[in-house]
Structure 1
Amino acid sequence: MAITLKLPVGIEDFREIRRKGFYYIDKTRLIEQLLDSWGKVNLFTRPRRFGKTLNMSMLRYFFEIETDKTLFDGLHISQRSDLCDEYMGKFPVVSLTLKGVYGTTFEEAKLSLAELIVAEARRFKFLLESDKLDADDKEMYRELISLNKEQSPASSVKLRFSLKNLSELLYKHYEQKTIVLVDEYDVPLDKAFQDGYYRKMVSLIRGLLGETLKTNDFLQFAVLTGCLRVSKESIFTGLNNFKIFSITDARFDEQFGFTEDEVEKMLKDYQLEDHLAEMKEWYDGYHFGDADIYCPWDVINRIDDLCNKPEEKPKCYWINSSGNALVKRFVFIANRTTQDEIERLIAGEPIEKSVRLDLTHDEIDKSIDNIWSVLFTTGYLTQVGMTEQGAYKLIIPNKEVREVYKLQIQDWFDQKIADNAEQMTSFWKDIEEGNTEAIEQYLNRTLNNTISVFDTKAPETEKENSYHTFLAGLLTGNTDWVVKSNVEAGEGFADIIIKPQNPDDGIIFELKYSKEASGLDKACERAIKQIRERRYSEYLKNDGRHNMTLYGIAFYKKRCKVVVEKLKEA
């Protein structure tokens, strides 16, 4: 019998999920591993939408003083009574997520950070009444909750010391050191890089985290999460006992994202076991440490869709949850060698690359190899092993991510075509005149100069569809033509039919894919024969058009052959 628990689509608060009866995959082993391995400062880097924020919320509710301990009933951590007795509900916790810290200017972003810290500090308003704090301590707290009202030069200094000061006040009140949780620590840096104030933001974040994590006698321990492992030299200078758990680390490898066993159980719980293969094809493929991992955002959204509409086709949930500027930037700066590597990736082949796991944002564009590293750490590529020389074997993880490469490549291609308006006009004229040599030359040159997504390991019919999309994109740019794709005509469906401005003329295209270069001529002959036998010209004849130009075009990888035949209907 299927369960009826609600699915936590977009819910990242652990208490809300547990109290309101949402489905929850137990990740409390993270607490056990964190306490058993023990690090003063712990950084977890994972791609977006892999459960970082929910896990940080879970940590807060486990450690925070006066927590509701029943939230953890029946979960893995409850079996460790020793850890629960010593740590559960025993610490003041300062918890921040920096994903909302941004602005078009540094001043706006700085104010955004101040607002965030003020909101967290206000959770502890009881400090104003604490008999363990003296007048100076309470004045320090008043300054903390007024950080967002001050824009003087001194405000940057106060902001830098804010979390350290808050942990000190909490220590004095509770006589217990503070746990600090900072989620998405690198988002302000990424936003700053995009808007041109990166150096200032690096200085601010370095100062804030340095004071909080390095010279803080009131810190029990800290956990940070992010997508990128920003170089220690730029942000975490001088930190000792600093542990980094990246996507290549076997420790904690199953605590962010869903394992196959967890996905299989979830599908079974909702009586959707038949969708496991589809789920694997679209949303699996990530390799963290020694674990194969599914994207949890995708899995939850997919199951939610299936529960509401069983016939719903798979969607690109992860890709559509935020922009893909990174892949776009990568595709736009690709050289010919890189274009070839992208094609191999889309075809399902691995490429071998040395990867840097720590970068500053301003280093990313300095070398195309750095872009490979960022695509790897942010989830657009994953690894399936290493070479003897220490390079990673990188692949596109699944069908969903492959789609984003194709979409960005198509955007890039469209832009490139738009930039060559004069050549396009000549190409359209050649089509109207039946100049096969010029048409062939243009298509071959265009195919050769762009990143191909056509010759993949897809079935032959899908390859034809890709070339169809390619050619239709070139033809629809002519505003003087009516261009129809897959139109019902005669005794079948014609690939492309064009009604030119001249009311007597009509153009018909039939496309074929050849398995080898030597078969291009015969494929063109088959295309022309199909147009005639299935009487596609009836569509144009019914519109009063009698001067027909028939094109048979065959494609093989980045080559094509064009055959034309003129037909005059009575």
Structure 2
Amino acid sequence: MRKLNIPVGISDFEKIRNGGFYYIDKSGLITEILNEKAEATLITRPRRFGKTLGMSMLESFFDIRKDSKELFEGLEIAEHQALCDEWMNQYPTVFVSFRQVDGLDFTGAYDMLTMVIADLYNKHLYLLDSKSATEFQKTAFEHLAHGNGSIKEVKSSLMLLTTMMQSYYAKPVILLIDEYDVPVAKANNNGYYNEMLDVMKGLMQALKDNQALQFAVVTGCLKIAKESIFTGTNNFVSDTITNSRLNEYFGFVQSEVDLLLKDADLTMQAENIKKWYDGYHFGAFDVYCPWDVMNYLLELQRNPKAKPISYWKNTSDNAIIRSFIDYAGSTITNKLETLMAGGCIIQRVDENLTYDYLHSSEDNLWSTLYLTGYLTKAREEDYKGELPDGMVAL
């Protein structure tokens, strides 16, 4: 076995590349996003599938305040010289993650949100010296940077920041929003859903008719469409696990796991790891859960006799799933027994879920379990029956 520096729990691209950690090259994601030419791209994947690391990579590549050439040396994107010349470190870039926004009540969660916005604004204090910024903009900026902006200022904070950056650099801004749905999901679990939804809708106005934007990329676990968070966003592309062109960039595909095991001199574990961790079928790709694979390899380096376990299941409070169990009737119970016995169930999957109506139908349970990674689409060899239109074997 060869010891690798495995970056479990590190989602900072620059830290991984500068720290000598093992990195599976996902830089082709940059080319895909640029080729799409979408005004806004929403990427939904289960937790721990590399969304934040992907967004961190995008920030490193585009941010005009960075010099990232060395970080990308040897990666796939570096082979596209013309694209790198045009885009690498050429655009003002905003990267914000809402994954830490949580609280038992709205006041607590809103305080967390204002701190996230304050931290973001403090990274761009140079804008206060901009000759193109108005006094009104500077006043609102200072309020937000100190964490005491009004609710109206917080709602419009991403719009204000992108507008000021566009004026400062005389270039449109790239906006990267990670885990956009976490505040709404946490709010739904704790009873302040409507208040948090109202704030998040305001923040997402930065995606709609924003003249300061070059484009935006947004990630989350679920596509919240019925609540109109993204209504009015022009040229909006959604990339989910059911219908995707980006699946090889989130999670590990077979060729990547083969290379990883070869580099670690652990090819004898290939069958074991495949049996345990390649349970996902996204779009046309078989996908390994990266969190499980990396944690198991790390454990093998410490203890070569370690047995595989499910590391992924303990990375969340699973509140949505628990809430459904309270509603479970005999039909749901029977289907769960079928699944746990290794069988398939035939269900309609709705990607456009809405938290406030989550428990309005049984279909929503199976859709949620599928979209958040607890179930996966059956491979063709696992289910050979005819499927009615709109139905999926899970």
- Band of TM-score, shorter chain: over 0.9
Say if 1:134 and 1:322 are closer, same or farther in 2 by CA, change over 3 A.
closer
Cα shift readout 1:189-218 (whole Å, capped 9, x = no counterpart): 0111111110111111111102x1103110
Between the aligned partners of 2:329 and 2:82, the Cα distance in structure 1 is 57
Corresponding residue of 1:313 = 307
Cα shift readout 1:39-70 (whole Å, capped 9, x = no counterpart): 11100000000000000000000000132221
Instruction: Tell whether the 8 Å contact from 1:234 to 1:360 is kept in structure 2 after alignment.
Output: no
Cα deviation, residue 133, structure 1? 3.6
Corresponding residue of 1:191 = 186
Instruction: Tell whether the 8 Å contact from 2:4 to 2:264 is kept in structure 1 after alignment.
Output: no
Instruction: Tell whether the 8 Å contact from 2:178 to 2:220 is kept in structure 1 after alignment.
Output: yes
| Amino acid of the structure 2 residue aligned with 1:379 | G
Say if 1:268 and 1:144 are closer, same or farther in 2 by CA, change over 3 A.
same
1:236 counterpart = 2:230: yes
1:368 counterpart = 2:367: no
1:381 counterpart = 2:375: yes
| Amino acid of the structure 2 residue aligned with 1:239 | T
Between the aligned partners of 2:273 and 2:237, the Cα distance in structure 1 is 33
Corresponding residue of 2:85 = 85
| Amino acid of the structure 1 residue aligned with 2:116 | L
The equivalent position to 1:159 in structure 2, one of 154, 170, 174, is 154
Between the aligned partners of 1:72 and 1:299, the Cα distance in structure 2 is 24
Return 5+ residue gaps in structure 1 as ranges. Answer: 395-570
Corresponding residue of 2:101 = 101
Cα shift readout 1:425-465 (whole Å, capped 9, x = no counterpart): xxxxxxxxxxxxxxxxxxxxxxxxxxxxxxxxxxxxxxxxx
Cα shift readout 1:75-107 (whole Å, capped 9, x = no counterpart): 010011121011110111111110111222212
1:168 counterpart = 2:137: no
The equivalent position to 1:182 in structure 2, one of 177, 181, 185, is 177
| Amino acid of the structure 2 residue aligned with 1:124 | H
Cα shift readout 1:533-555 (whole Å, capped 9, x = no counterpart): xxxxxxxxxxxxxxxxxxxxxxx
Cα deviation, residue 138, structure 1? 3.2
Structure 1 ranges of 4+ moved more than 4 A: 134-137
Instruction: Tell whether the 8 Å contact from 2:12 to 2:56 is kept in structure 1 after alignment.
Output: yes
- What is the RMSD computed on CA atoms of the aligned residues? 1.6
Cα deviation, residue 379, structure 1? 0.4
Corresponding residue of 1:436 = none
Corresponding residue of 1:304 = 298
Between the aligned partners of 2:92 and 2:389, the Cα distance in structure 1 is 47
Between the aligned partners of 2:47 and 2:15, the Cα distance in structure 1 is 21
1:220 counterpart = 2:219: no
| TM-score, with structure 1 as normaliser | 0.66
Corresponding residue of 1:123 = 123
Instruction: Tell whether the 8 Å contact from 1:121 to 1:145 is kept in structure 2 after alignment.
Output: yes
Between the aligned partners of 1:204 and 1:25, the Cα distance in structure 2 is 36
| Amino acid of the structure 1 residue aligned with 2:60 | Y
Cα deviation, residue 128, structure 1? 2.4
Between the aligned partners of 2:388 and 2:210, the Cα distance in structure 1 is 43
What SS class does the counterpart of residue 237 from structure 2 fall into? strand
Corresponding residue of 2:344 = 350
The equivalent position to 1:289 in structure 2, one of 278, 283, 297, is 283
Instruction: Tell whether the 8 Å contact from 1:5 to 1:21 is kept in structure 2 after alignment.
Output: no
Between the aligned partners of 1:340 and 1:37, the Cα distance in structure 2 is 43
Corresponding residue of 2:25 = 26
| Amino acid of the structure 2 residue aligned with 1:311 | K
Cα deviation, residue 264, structure 1? 1.4
Moved more, 33-42 or 328-337: 328-337
Cα shift readout 1:483-517 (whole Å, capped 9, x = no counterpart): xxxxxxxxxxxxxxxxxxxxxxxxxxxxxxxxxxx
Cα deviation, residue 381, structure 1? 0.5
Corresponding residue of 2:60 = 61
Corresponding residue of 2:202 = 207
| Amino acid of the structure 1 residue aligned with 2:194 | R
What SS class does the counterpart of residue 163 from structure 1 fall into? helix
Say if 1:79 and 1:232 are closer, same or farther in 2 by CA, change over 3 A.
farther
Percent identical among aligned pairs is 44
**Structure with a larger share of its residues in strand:** 1
Instruction: Tell whether the 8 Å contact from 1:193 to 1:361 is kept in structure 2 after alignment.
Output: yes
Between the aligned partners of 1:321 and 1:144, the Cα distance in structure 2 is 32
What SS class does the counterpart of residue 334 from structure 1 fall into? coil
Say if 1:278 and 1:5 are closer, same or farther in 2 by CA, change over 3 A.
closer
Cα shift readout 1:139-170 (whole Å, capped 9, x = no counterpart): 34323313x224xxxx1111111111111111
Quick check: which has more Rg, 1 or 2? 1
Return 5+ residue gaps in structure 2 as ranges. Answer: 381-385
Aligned positions, number? 387
Between the aligned partners of 2:122 and 2:312, the Cα distance in structure 1 is 34
Cα deviation, residue 298, structure 1? 0.5
Between the aligned partners of 1:334 and 1:182, the Cα distance in structure 2 is 35
Structure with the greater relative contact order (CA < 8 A, sep ≥ 6): 1 or 2? 2
